[in-house]
Every structure is written in C-alpha cells, then in structure tokens.
Chains A and B, each alone.
Chain A
Amino acid sequence: MAEPAIELIGIDKSFGAVRANRNIHLTVERGTIHGIVGENGAGKSTLMSIIYGFYQADRGEIRVAGRPAAITDPNAAIAAGIGMVHQHFMLVHNLTVVENVMLGAERSPLLDKGIATVRAELKRLETDHGLEVDPDAVIEELPVGLQQRVEILKALYRGADILILDEPTGVLTPSEADHLFRVLKQLRDEGKTIVLITHKLREIMAITDTVSVMRQGEMVATRKTAETSVAELAELMVGRRVLLTVDKRPAAPGAPLLSVEKLSVKDSRGVTMVDDVSFSVRAGEIVGIAGVAGNGQSELLEALSGIRRALRGKVAMNGRAIDPTREADPAEIRRIGCAHVPEDRHHMGLVLPFEENENAILGYQDDPRFQKGPLLDLAAMRGDARDKIAAYDIRPADCRLKTANFSGGNQQKIVLAREMERDPDVLLIGQPTRGVDVGAIEFIHKRIVEMRDAGKAILLVSVELDEIRALSDRILVMFAGRIVGERGPDASESELGLLMAGVDGKEAAE
C-alpha cells in the first residue's frame, strides 16, 4: 500500500471560545474519493481551510504523501499539490477564464507567455478530462456549473494531485451535479485524490469510496462507503436516529385558497420566465413545484408574493382577487393573510447585520403589537423573539445576537418562525432547507406538515426532488416557464426527472 495522500494527526483549532476542530485524526488514501459529512457548523470547512493553509491549526500535524508538511499559507498547499474548490467560488467575476486560471500562477511578470501556457494547458485538460470551457468567456456570463469547472481547472493547472471540494453541489442543478460526479470519478481513476465535503448523504453514497463523519468539531467515525448506509451516517452526524421520510397523514383538502390563472412573468432582462401558468392550491394541502433551478420557479414565487410585477394573468388569494400586474406591493399580500419564505434568505429574507429580534419582525414592524407611539416597543419585540426562539429551537438562544452569527439552519428557522407564526392562510415557501443541516431539515419539514394539517394552503418550491416528494400532496413540474405535468406524491423519481428535463408525459410513460 502506498503512503496515504493526506494524514492529519491531532488537529486542533479554536476561534475565540469556539473550538471548531478538536483532536482530528484523518487518513485519506491515494486515488480515492473521500467524503467528509457533518451538519452545518460541524467544523468541516474549517478543517479543509487548515489543509489548504487558509487557517493555521493551533496544534497537530499535517502529512502529505507520508512527509510532514508545513502548510503555512495557500502557496505552500499548492506547492504540496493540494488544490481547493471553495463553496463560494474564488473567481473574479469580470475577468476571463484564462485570467482567472492564471491569477497567482502567471509564471512571469508579463502576461503574454502565461496566457499562451494557460491556453495550451486548458486545451490539454479539455481533451484529457472532458473539462470543456471557453477560455475567453468572462466569468459572470458563465452558468454556475461552468464557473465551478473553472475552479477545478484552476486547481489542476497548478498541478494539484489532491482536490478538495467544499459543498460542490449546493449551487448546481441535478444534471450539472451528475456531470461533476463523472468528472470526479474520472479524475480519481487517473490517480488523483479527491476530498468531498458535503452534508448531502445521497452524494456520499453515490460517489465516495470512504466517508468520515464530523460532529461538533470532532471526527466521530470513518467508514467504507460500501459498508455503511444513509441511516447509519445520518445517525452518526446528528448523534441520534433521524427520519428521512416525513410522517404525514393523507391530505384533507378544502376550498382553493390560492388560484392562479394564465400568469405570465418576465424577468429583469425581459425574458419570459413564467409562461401562461394556471393552478390552484387548496386549504390543507401542500403543492410542490419541482423543476431544475432557473425554469421560472423563482419568478413565479416573486410574482405571487408581490415582489415582481407580472405581465398578465389573474391571481386570487384567500378569496380576494389580486391584480398581479399592479405595482409590486408585498405588504398588501401580507395583509390578506399570505406569508412568504423567500428562496434566498441572505438576499431577501434577512438583514444579516441586524439583531435576531429585529429580523424576527421584519415586514411586520407596523404591527400594533410592536408599536409604542411613534417608536418601536423593544421589550415587546424581544419578548416575541424569545417566544419564537423557544418554539423553533433557534440556537444560540440569544435574541440580541447579530443574525449573521447564526448558522445557516438557524437563520432559516428565524425566517420560518417569522412567517409561520403570523398564522397565514396561504404560505409560499421557497427552498425551505437550502444549506440547512439534517436535524433542522427534519424540524422544518415537520412544521410545514403541521401548517398543512391546520388547514393552510402551502405552495412549496424546491430544487431538492427528495424534499418535494416527501412533502407534497400534489407535484407540479415546471420546465421552461410552463407547468408540464402534474403528478401525485407517489410519482417515481425517474418520471419526475424526465419531466423536469422537458421530456413530455407520454414519452416519459413509455
């Protein structure tokens, strides 16, 4: 057996009082895909940043190919053959692919020689690995999948033998993710070592050879993927058994609370994103909208929640007709008993530098409960926030903490608590569990089903097909702005997958 590619011996790392990594031991064998799973905040990204030299460990040793390596900065990591694909791409958005690949590895003070080398090398990587990308494209004009490919090319160009990918599929569509996995497998077969950090257990099972589980800064177990199961890994991650399927009774739908007729919406570029869409959601049912990201789901949600003006169409909500082509007015939608959990909590759901209790009433700040004359009633706000923190188990339980300091899952709970505790009749939810850990997913799913059982009409948009299938009573599939099919909750994954890819129902049945 050859020396392991990477060995970590007793790594410790603290940020102030928080111990992000404690006494980590890890061995990654050469030529394997090694998965590292754990909940958000388990310390995975910190550990990888230490291997990549972005942070320094407080204690412990890193060995690369059997030799102790002093990885003091990213340069040393690159020299040791370690390349990293960050969760948030480290690309300069207005530079070209060539310029991005070259950045930091220009080889000479003038660029022309470097540009020629990069071009030749990109050509070679394209033929060797099928990593095709236009070298002169500007990054911001590329789809996310290709941007990620540029990150991989950057690492390979620097001669990386060990490739670390941090949550690589978080931003990818299912087909882009599949393509990434094929690339990774091919790289492994060529002898590269790949470390994959994720909290998606399905990915671990699909692609890794070995898997290590982290929990609260500690490495709790390492298993051969073939000898473990999703259930065991999930249990190791959260330290108890979790339900991956949602327990729910059949729906008892009532009258329609949300009906949409021939709705068309254009996006800011003027492209028609929602095209003549009609459907309704009844009281006491969850309607899921499945689809690959970018097929109009976001624009549909935005039009319904009053953020975006629609081109034409009719919407009735809670028994009241709304003109969706009017000037956008999300407050009006809230007044008639509709709540909205936006898809992107950072961009639309929260003001990150605000305190938790301020975010907990955002959008409802005019409620008389929080008013004291012309001023905000801070005591009432904080009391309300503390109730929500207790009800939704938001951690840390501190309503004065800056929202940015909560983990992703807890931030999402803050948004959900704010919208659900208004007791709306119609609930629009976008990507309820994006970037949220397993324990929190279970909780969020349970709350959504409770809302349904309380007779609310729920429209759920998610790119996670598992989530749609687990929660929905009816599934609508969106493709290229249209609803191309409706299925029951028992529809098979492959059938839905074909619909999502734009293959029509009859062909799919064949």
Chain B
Amino acid sequence: MDLSSLLDIVDSTIRLSTPLIFAALAGLYSERSGIFDISLEGKMLIAAFASASAAAVWGSVVLGLCVGILASVAFSLIHGVASITYRGNQIVSGVAINFIAAGLTIILGQSWFGQGGRTPSLFGGGRFTAVDLPFAEAVRDVPVLGPIYSGVLSGQTPLVYVAFLMVPLTWWVLYRTRFGLRLRAVGENPAAVDTAGISVTFLRYRAVIICGVLTGFAGAYLSTGQAAGFTRDMTAGKGYIALAALIFANWKPVPVMFACLLFGFLDAVSIRVQGVELPLVGQVSVQFVQALPYILTVVLLAGFVGKATPPKAGGVPYVKER
C-alpha cells in the first residue's frame, strides 16, 4: 500500500470519527452525571435534520448549527425532565426519544420540503467548507510530513477541529474544574453531593444540556459538514457506536477519542475492502467489518478486554432516602 492510499484512509478515519467523538463526549457528560443516555442517536438525527433545514432555508451554516443545537438541547431536556425531575426509567425515555426522532424528521421533512424526507441540497454558505491551515500549499512537496500536514491535518471542515479540541477541553473540565469534580461525584454517589450542599438536580440538568449541545454538533456535522443535506436515518447507528466507544473507553475523555478513532478507522476500512481480494482470507464481507465495533464492545463487556466500570449511580434516579 502506498503513502497516498494510506493517507486516504487516515483522512477518512478522521472524518468518520468526528461525529463519534462529539456524540461519545456528549454521552460522557450525561453518563458521568448518572443519567444514562441511549438517545444520542435520536438527538443526532434531530440535530442533523434541524441544522440542514435551517441552513437550507436561510442559507447560513452557522445559523444551521445553532438551530441544530437548540433542537438537540430541547430533546435533552425532555430526557432530563423524564429522568431527573420525574425519576422515570432512563432507558425507556431514551428509546422513546430515538423513535420520536426517527419519525419526526421524516414527517417534518416531507411536509416542509416534499422531497421524501430529504432536505434540499446545501451549497455555498449552507455547508461547512474545508479550512486550509497556514502554509498547507507551501509544504505540500516536503516528503512524508508534507502530505500529512496538507492532506490530512489541513483541509478539514471546522467542526473536525472543534471535535478534536473538545477532547482536551473535556479532560480539563472533568479533572481541573469545580464543575468536573462535582460531575464525577454525582454519577458515583449523589447522596454525597447532596449532603455537601450541592443540588443534584441542577448539576444533572447542566450535564444533560451539555450533552444536548454536543450531540447538536455531531448532527450538524453529519448533514452540513460531511454531507450536503439531510437524508432519512442518516445517523445509521452512529449514536450507538458512540455509546459503544464510551463504554470501550471506560467513560474517560482521552480514551474516548482513541476508541472513536478505532471505530472510525474500521468504518473507513470497510468502505475500501469492499470487493477487494485479500491474501489468505479472500474476500472480506463488508457486513463483518461494519459489525466489528459492536463485536468489540460485546467482547469488552463480556470481560475479555479490560473491564468497563460505569458510573455507580448511573441509571438510578436520585431520591433522598427516608
């Protein structure tokens, strides 16, 4: 395999990992606070639809992003009200949101744009365009490093950089700020947080809102960064892959990035191995490669690779003991 096709795979790995990183970090904030969130998928879908719609109508991708975030936060708050205020079952609430999102995007898309659930194609200011880093052209001919810099690092859409910057930022928030300390504590022992005089409810709502903002980014990236418009079910299980990455990474920000890169890489490879004869194994089925992230997750959960320890109070509504 030559350098350029290798760089091609790295480039698509980064592109395909970006929505996973946003979504997995979103899940990290929510689940670290003790609110399990399987509705990452639905929120991404809603955000993808809302931002593509707004971008199509107003022709502004930034406005699109904002609308996407608002829509996603609104659904986060539904999940929050159900699971924090009303102490409902978080899995049921999450599943409900996924179903609502799947149905709502198609119905609204059809009634607004009449294109079978799609939004009109975006062009110009309606979608994110590549950002060229300084000197990208100048160093293109430098051997090895040149193509890496100008071909892979440079020329991505802005949201890609935002996603990768979110990783150290999340680490810093989690381990260096008061909010992060409280967040880590409330997912493990909310009673300790409560007796320390901190509101468990407010803390969890803030976590859930951050989760909404980040899934908003993830969705907007899908429909206005990676693609040029919304197509039905365009998240195609990415929310669940992100959840798998979160478990795989043991709810820690930096490992989350690597898990997402791994899953993004498998995705990138699966596109390329289609129909290719490989030595020894013959033709690899695409379905098998696409199933790998899930197989990895099951193997992990079965305890073969390390051990996943979810936040102790995750999924359990907080009730002051009598």
| Chain A residues within 8 Å of B, Cβ to Cβ | 15, 52, 54, 73-75, 78, 84, 86, 88, 90-95, 99-100, 102-106, 108-112, 114
- The answer to whether B196 and A93 touch across the interface, beta carbons within 8 angstroms, is no
Nearest-Cβ distance from residue A395 to partner chain B, whole angstroms: 18
- The answer to whether B181 and A90 touch across the interface, beta carbons within 8 angstroms, is no
For B177, what are the chain A residues with a Cβ–Cβ distance below 8 Å? 109-111
For A92, what are the chain B residues with a Cβ–Cβ distance below 8 Å? 184-185, 188-189, 192
A93-B312, A110-B176, A114-B178 in contact; A104/B197 too (CB < 8 A)? yes
- The answer to whether A104 and B193 touch across the interface, beta carbons within 8 angstroms, is yes
Name the one of B175, B184, B196, B320 contacting A104, with C-beta atoms under 8 angstroms: B196
**Residues of B179-231 whose CB lies within 8 A of A:** 179-182, 184-185, 188-189, 191-198
- The answer to whether B188 and A95 touch across the interface, beta carbons within 8 angstroms, is yes
Give CA–CA (A105, B193) in the complex, Å: 11
Q: Mark B64-86, 1 if CB is under 8 A from A, else 0.
A: 00000000000000000000000
Give CA–CA (A56, B185) in the complex, Å: 25
**Residues of B298-322 whose CB lies within 8 A of A:** 312, 320, 322
- The answer to whether B179 and A93 touch across the interface, beta carbons within 8 angstroms, is no
Q: Mark B100-115, 1 if CB is under 8 A from A, else 0.
A: 0000000000000000
- The answer to whether B195 and A54 touch across the interface, beta carbons within 8 angstroms, is yes
Closest residue of B by beta carbon distance from A107: B178
A110-B176, A111-B176, A111-B181 in contact; A103/B188 too (CB < 8 A)? no
For A75, what are the chain B residues with a Cβ–Cβ distance below 8 Å? 197
**Residues of B268-322 whose CB lies within 8 A of A:** 312, 320, 322
Closest residue of B by beta carbon distance from A86: B195
A15-B322, A93-B312, A111-B178 in contact; A104/B198 too (CB < 8 A)? yes
- The answer to whether B193 and A95 touch across the interface, beta carbons within 8 angstroms, is no
Between A and B, 5 residue pairs with Cβ closer than 8 Å are A54-B194, A74-B196, A90-B191, A100-B192, A110-B178
Q: Is the interface of B mostly helix, strand, loop or mixed?
A: helix
Top 10 A-B pairs ranked by shortest CB distance? A104-B196, A75-B197, A90-B192, A106-B178, A74-B197, A92-B185, A90-B195, A92-B188, A92-B189, A103-B196
Nearest-Cβ distance from residue B262 to partner chain A, whole angstroms: 25
A90-B191, A103-B192 in contact; A109/B179 too (CB < 8 A)? yes
- The answer to whether A78 and B197 touch across the interface, beta carbons within 8 angstroms, is yes
Give CA–CA (A54, B197) in the complex, Å: 9
For B320, what are the chain A residues with a Cβ–Cβ distance below 8 Å? 54
For B188, what are the chain A residues with a Cβ–Cβ distance below 8 Å? 92-95
Contact count A vs B, C-beta below 8 Å: 71
Q: Known contacts A90-B189, A110-B177; can you find 8 more A-B pairs with CB under 8 A?
A: A74-B196, A74-B197, A92-B185, A92-B192, A94-B312, A99-B185, A103-B181, A104-B182
For A95, what are the chain B residues with a Cβ–Cβ distance below 8 Å? 181, 184-185, 188
For B195, what are the chain A residues with a Cβ–Cβ distance below 8 Å? 52, 54, 74, 84, 86, 90
Nearest-Cβ distance from residue B37 to partner chain A, whole angstroms: 21
- The answer to whether A109 and B189 touch across the interface, beta carbons within 8 angstroms, is no
Chain B: number of interface residues, binned into ranges: 20 to 34
For A84, what are the chain B residues with a Cβ–Cβ distance below 8 Å? 195
- The answer to whether A102 and B197 touch across the interface, beta carbons within 8 angstroms, is no
Residue among B175, B195, B320 with the highest chain A CB neighbour number at 10 A: B195
- The answer to whether A93 and B189 touch across the interface, beta carbons within 8 angstroms, is yes
Closest residue of B by beta carbon distance from A99: B181
Give CA–CA (A106, B176) in the complex, Å: 11
Give CA–CA (A91, B190) in the complex, Å: 10
A103-B185, A108-B178, A110-B177 in contact; A91/B192 too (CB < 8 A)? yes
Closest residue of A by beta carbon distance from B184: A95
Nearest-Cβ distance from residue B183 to partner chain A, whole angstroms: 11
Give CA–CA (A74, B176) in the complex, Å: 25
For B181, what are the chain A residues with a Cβ–Cβ distance below 8 Å? 95, 99, 102-103, 106, 111
Closest residue of A by beta carbon distance from B191: A90
Give CA–CA (A116, B90) in the complex, Å: 38
For B180, what are the chain A residues with a Cβ–Cβ distance below 8 Å? 111
Nearest-Cβ distance from residue B31 to partner chain A, whole angstroms: 14
Closest residue of B by beta carbon distance from A93: B188
For A86, what are the chain B residues with a Cβ–Cβ distance below 8 Å? 195
Nearest-Cβ distance from residue A210 to partner chain B, whole angstroms: 26
Closest residue of B by beta carbon distance from A18: B322
Closest residue of B by beta carbon distance from A53: B197
- The answer to whether B189 and A74 touch across the interface, beta carbons within 8 angstroms, is no
Give CA–CA (A104, B195) in the complex, Å: 9
Name the one of B179, B184, B197 contacting A73, with C-beta atoms under 8 angstroms: B197
For B185, what are the chain A residues with a Cβ–Cβ distance below 8 Å? 92, 95, 99, 103
Name the one of A15, A105, A112 contacting B176, with C-beta atoms under 8 angstroms: A112
Closest residue of A by beta carbon distance from B311: A94
Closest residue of B by beta carbon distance from A52: B195
For B175, what are the chain A residues with a Cβ–Cβ distance below 8 Å? 111
Give CA–CA (A94, B322) in the complex, Å: 25
For A104, what are the chain B residues with a Cβ–Cβ distance below 8 Å? 182, 193, 196-198
For B179, what are the chain A residues with a Cβ–Cβ distance below 8 Å? 109
Closest residue of A by beta carbon distance from B187: A92
Name the one of B178, B189, B198, B322 contacting A91, with C-beta atoms under 8 angstroms: B189
Closest residue of B by beta carbon distance from A104: B196
Nearest-Cβ distance from residue B196 to partner chain A, whole angstroms: 3
For A103, what are the chain B residues with a Cβ–Cβ distance below 8 Å? 181-182, 185, 192-193, 196, 198
For A52, what are the chain B residues with a Cβ–Cβ distance below 8 Å? 195
Residue among A15, A88, A95, A104 with the highest chain B CB neighbour number at 10 A: A104
Nearest-Cβ distance from residue B180 to partner chain A, whole angstroms: 8
For A15, what are the chain B residues with a Cβ–Cβ distance below 8 Å? 322
Give CA–CA (A422, B196) in the complex, Å: 47
Residue among A75, A109, A111, A114 with the highest chain B CB neighbour number at 10 A: A111
Give CA–CA (A299, B277) in the complex, Å: 58
Nearest-Cβ distance from residue B179 to partner chain A, whole angstroms: 7
Give CA–CA (A94, B196) in the complex, Å: 17
Give CA–CA (A99, B178) in the complex, Å: 10
Residue among A103, A105, A109 with the highest chain B CB neighbour number at 10 A: A103
